[in-house]
C-alpha cells in the first residue's frame, strides 16, 4: 500500500474508532502512528508500553472493526511501541503482557485533581513513589467507593517506574491475593507464591478489608508483610475504612497497618468535582464549557465514578446524535439517570417502603433481634440508604437502632454480594428502588 494512501487510511480508521467507541477513546490517540500496514495486518505505534497495553486490552476489536469498515477487508491489528515515524525496516516490539503489572495509562498524578479531600493521600503517594520503602511504610489509604484510591496507587507505581524502570511491582486486589494463595496451596507450590511476593520492591494490595474472616490468608499476609517490611520494601494498602475499624482482622495486622501513614480520602467538594469533570473531558479530547462541567458537578455528587459515567452518557449522546455538546444536550442526556439524591430521598422513605414490603415493624428493625426475617430487611434498608442517600454510615446506623458504622458497612457488603449472586435479591432490590423513587 502506498505510504500516502496508508497514512490517509490510518487517519480514517482512527476517526472511525472515535465514533464507534467514544467511551474508550482518549486524546492521546492523536499520538498513535501507523507503524506498518501490510498483508492484512495493521501495526499501530504507541507512545509507550502502558498505552499499547491499554489498546490491546480495551480497543483491539474496535480498531479491527474500524479498519475493516474503512478498507472493506478483514484486518488484524497489533499495537507496538515503536518510533513515532513509520519505519517498516525497524523491528517494532510487540506489547508484552505476561506477569508484568498492568498500569492504567489514565491513572497518573498528572490526571489526578488535588483538593482538600485528597491532598494528604496525594502528597504521600508522591513521597512514596520518590523513594519506595523509605518514607511511609506501609502507606494505607482508605475511603468509600470511587474516591480515587486505585487511581493514586497506579500513579504511585507509574512514577516509581519512571524514576527507576526496573522497579519490581506487584499489584493485586485482596481477592486475587487470597485466590492465588489458595491455588498455590492446592497446587503444592506455596514457596513459589511466597518468593514471588516477597521479592518485589513495591507490593500494592487493593481492598484489604476482604481479608476479614480468612484466618489462613491473614496469617500468610502477615508473613509477607514482615518479610517486605524488614527488607525495606514498600507496602501500599487500601481499604474502605480505617485500620482500627476493619472488622474480623487480627490485631497484629491492624497494628502493622498503622506503622506507616494512614490517610483518609473524603468525597470531593463541588469545586474539586468541577475540576475533575474538566480533567476527564480533556483526557478524552472533549471540549466542554464551564457551564456543562458545573452542571454535571452539581447533579452528580455521590462518587467520582458516577461523575465520569455522566460525562460518558453526554459524550455518547453527542456522538450518536451528531450534535455538539451543549448544556441542553447535557440536560437531555442525563435526564433520569441523574443521582437519586436529587429527589431528596430520605432514610425514612426507604424504611417505610422496606417495612411494607417485608411486613415488619420499624421497632423490629431498630431492635436487637437477629432473626433472618428481621435482619435481612434491616440490612436491605442500610444498603438502600447507602446507595440512594448521601447519609454517612453513622447516620444510617443511627436510624436503625443506633448501630455502628462497621455494622452498616458489613450489611452493605453482604447485600452487594447477594445482589451479584442471587437473581431473587436483584429483583427485590430493583422493585424496592422503583417504589422508593416513585415516592
Ligand X SMILES: Nc1ncnc2c1ncn2[C@@H]1O[C@H](COP(=O)(O)OP(=O)(O)OP(=O)(O)O)[C@@H](O)[C@H]1O
DSSP, res 91: P
C-alpha cell at 24: 474508550
* Residue 432 CB contacts under 8 Å (≥ 6 apart), including other chains: 353, 354, 357, 380, 384
Cis peptide before 138 (omega within 30 of 0): yes
Kindly state whether residue 228 participates in binding ligand X, applying the rule CB under 6 A. Answer: no
Q: Which of 212, 279, 343, 410 binds ligand X (CB under 6 A)?
A: 279
Among 10, 79, 112, 142, binds ligand X (CB under 6 A): 112
Comparison of 9 and 261: residue with beta carbon closer to ligand X: 261
Q: Residue 357's CB: how many other CB atoms inside 10 A?
A: 14
Nearest distance, CB of residue 252 and ligand X, angstroms: 25
CB atoms under 10 Å from CB of 245, counted, come to 17
Residue 346, annotated as binding a ligand: no
- Rounded to the nearest whole angstrom, what is the least distance from the CB of residue 374 to ligand X in the complex? 30
Q: Are strands 41-46 and 76-81 parallel, antiparallel or unpaired?
A: parallel
For residues 155 and 238, give the distance between their C-alpha atoms in angstroms, rounded to a whole number: 14
Among 49, 56, 308, 349, which residue sits at the site for ligand X (rule: CB under 6 A)? 308
- Of 105 and 148, which CB lies nearer to ligand X in the complex structure? 148
Does the annotation list 260 as a binding residue? no
Is the Cβ of residue 151 or residue 399 nearer to ligand X in the bound state? 151
**Smallest separation, CB 127 to ligand X (Å):** 17
Q: Is 113 in the site for ligand X (CB under 6 A)?
A: yes
By CB under 6 A, is residue 118 in contact with ligand X?
Answer: yes
Q: Is 147 in the site for ligand X (CB under 6 A)?
A: yes
**Residue 273 binds ligand X, judged by CB under 6 A:** no
Residues 1-20 that bind ligand X (CB under 6 A): none
**Residue 232, exposed/middle/buried by CB under 10 A (0-12, 13-18, 19+)?**
exposed
Please, what is the minimum distance in Å from the beta carbon of residue 223 to ligand X?
26
Q: Any idea what the Cα angle at residue 57 is, between residues 53 and 58, rounded to 5°?
A: 115
Position 274 contacts ligand X (CB under 6 A): no
CA distance 162 to 263: 24
- Distance between CA 390 and CA 306 in Å, rounded? 14
- The edge-to-edge listing of strands for the beta sheet with 76-81 is 33-38, 41-46, 76-81, 93-94
| Complete DSSP assignment for 3-52 | HHHHHHHHHHHHHHHHHH-TTT--GGGGG-EEEEEETTEEEEEESSHHHH
CB 241 within 8 A of CB 209: yes
149 is in an annotated binding site: yes
* Minimum distance, C-beta of residue 315 to ligand X, in the bound complex (Å): 14
Span from 112-120, 241-249, 309-317, 335-343 in contact with ligand X (CB under 6 A): 112-120
Side-chain-side CA neighbours of 275 within 13 Å: the count stands at: 13
Site string for ligand X, 36-65 (x = CB under 6 A): ------------------------------
Q: Which residues inside 368-407 make contact with ligand X, applying CB under 6 A?
A: none
* H or E element, residue 205: strand 202-206
Residues 6+ away with beta carbon under 8 Å from 338: 299, 300, 310
Query: Least distance from C-beta 150 to ligand X, angstroms?
Result: 3
Nearer to ligand X, 63 or 107 (CB): 107
Q: Among 139, 157, 304, 382, which residue sits at the site for ligand X (rule: CB under 6 A)?
A: 304
Q: Which residue is nearest to ligand X (CB)?
A: 148
Q: Smaller CB distance to ligand X: residue 154 or 170?
A: 154
- Assess 412 for contact with ligand X (CB under 6 A): no
Specify the residue, 197 or 204, whose C-beta has the smaller distance to ligand X.
204
Number of residues in contact with ligand X under rule CB under 6 A: 18
Q: Is 437 in the site for ligand X (CB under 6 A)?
A: no
**Using CA atoms, how far apart are residues 343 and 11, in angstroms rounded to an integer?**
45
One residue of 305, 361, 426, 434 binding ligand X per CB under 6 A: 305
Q: Which 8-state DSSP code applies to residue 231?
A: T
- 58 in a known ligand binding site: no
- Choose the stretch contacting ligand X; rule: CB under 6 A; options: 56-64, 142-150, 187-195, 399-407: 142-150
146 binds ligand X (CB under 6 A): yes
Count of CB atoms within 10 A of residue 295's CB? Answer: 21
Burial class for 149, CB neighbours closer than 10 Å (0-12, 13-18, 19+): buried
- Identify the residue among 145, 185, 327, 430 touching ligand X (CB under 6 A): 145
Q: Does 426 bind ligand X (CB under 6 A)?
A: no
The residue ranges that bind ligand X (CB under 6 A) are 107, 111-113, 118, 143, 145-151, 276, 279, 304-305, 308
Binding-site residue set for ATP: 146, 148-150
Amino acid at each position: 500500500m502506498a505510504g500516502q494512501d496508508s497514512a490517509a487510511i490510518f487517519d480514517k480508521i482512527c476517526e472511525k474508532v472515535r465514533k464507534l467507541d467514544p467511551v474508550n477513546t482518549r486524546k492521546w490517540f492523536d499520538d498513535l502512528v501507523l507503524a506498518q500496514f501490510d498483508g492484512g495486518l495493521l501495526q499501530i505505534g504507541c507512545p509507550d508500553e502502558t498505552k499499547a497495553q491499554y489498546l490491546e486490552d480495551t480497543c483491539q476489536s474496535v480498531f479491527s472493526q474500524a479498519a475493516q469498515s474503512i478498507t472493506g477487508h478483514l484486518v488484524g491489528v497489533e499495537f507496538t511501541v515503536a518510533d513515532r515515524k513509520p519505519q517498516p525496516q525497524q523491528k517494532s516490539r510487540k506489547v508484552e503482557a505476561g506477569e508484568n503489572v498492568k498500569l492504567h495509562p489514565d491513572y497518573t498524578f498528572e490526571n489526578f485533581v488535588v483538593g482538600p479531600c485528597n491532598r494528604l493521600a496525594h502528597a504521600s503517594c508522591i513521597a512514596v513513589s520518590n523513594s519506595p520503602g523509605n518514607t511511609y511504610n506501609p502507606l494505607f489509604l482508605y475511603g468509600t467507593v470511587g474516591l480515587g484510591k486505585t487511581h493514586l496507587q497506579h500513579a504511585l507505581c507509574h512514577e516509581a517506574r519512571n524514576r527507576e524502570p526496573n522497579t519490581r511491582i506487584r499489584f493485586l486486589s485482596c481477592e486475587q491475593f487470597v485466590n492465588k494463595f489458595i491455588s498455590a496451596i492446592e497446587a503444592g507450590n506455596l514457596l513459589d507464591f511466597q518468593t514471588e511476593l516477597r521479592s518485589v520492591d513495591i507490593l500494592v494490595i487493593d481492598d484489604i478489608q476482604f481479608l476479614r474472616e480468612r484466618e489462613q490468608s491473614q496469617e500468610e499476609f502477615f508473613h509477607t508483610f514482615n518479610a517486605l517490611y524488614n527488607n525495606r520494601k514498600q507496602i501500599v494498602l487500601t481499604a474502605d475504612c480505617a485500620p482500627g475499624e476493619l472488622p474480623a482482622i487480627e490485631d497484629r495486622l491492624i497494628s502493622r497497618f498503622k506503622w506507616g501513614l494512614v490517610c483518609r480520602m473524603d468525597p470531593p467538594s463541588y469545586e474539586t468535582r468541577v475540576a475533575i469533570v474538566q480533567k476527564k473531558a480533556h483526557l478524552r479530547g472533549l471540549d466542554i464549557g464551564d457551564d456543562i462541567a458545573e452542571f454535571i458537578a452539581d447533579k452528580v455528587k455521590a462518587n467520582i465514578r458516577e461523575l465520569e459515567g455522566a460525562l460518558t452518557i453526554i459524550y455518547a449522546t453527542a456522538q450518536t446524535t451528531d450534535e455538539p455538546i451543549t448544556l441542553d444536550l447535557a440536560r437531555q442526556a442525563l435526564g433520569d439517570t441523574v443521582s437519586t439524591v436529587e429527589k431528596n430521598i430520605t432514610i425514612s422513605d426507604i424504611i417505610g417502603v422496606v417495612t411494607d414490603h417485608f411486613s415488619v415493624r420499624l421497632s423490629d428493625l431498630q431492635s436487637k433481634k437477629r432473626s433472618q426475617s428481621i435482619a435481612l430487611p434491616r440490612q436491605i434498608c442500610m444498603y438502600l440508604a447507602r446507595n440512594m442517600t448521601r447519609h454517612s454510615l453513622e447516620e444510617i446506623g443511627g436510624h436503625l437502632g443506633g448501630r455502628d458504622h462497621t455494622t452498616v458497612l458489613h450489611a452493605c457488603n453482604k447485600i452487594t454480594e447477594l445482589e451479584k449472586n442471587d437473581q431473587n435479591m436483584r429483583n427485590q432490590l430493583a422493585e424496592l428502588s422503583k417504589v422508593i423513587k416513585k415516592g
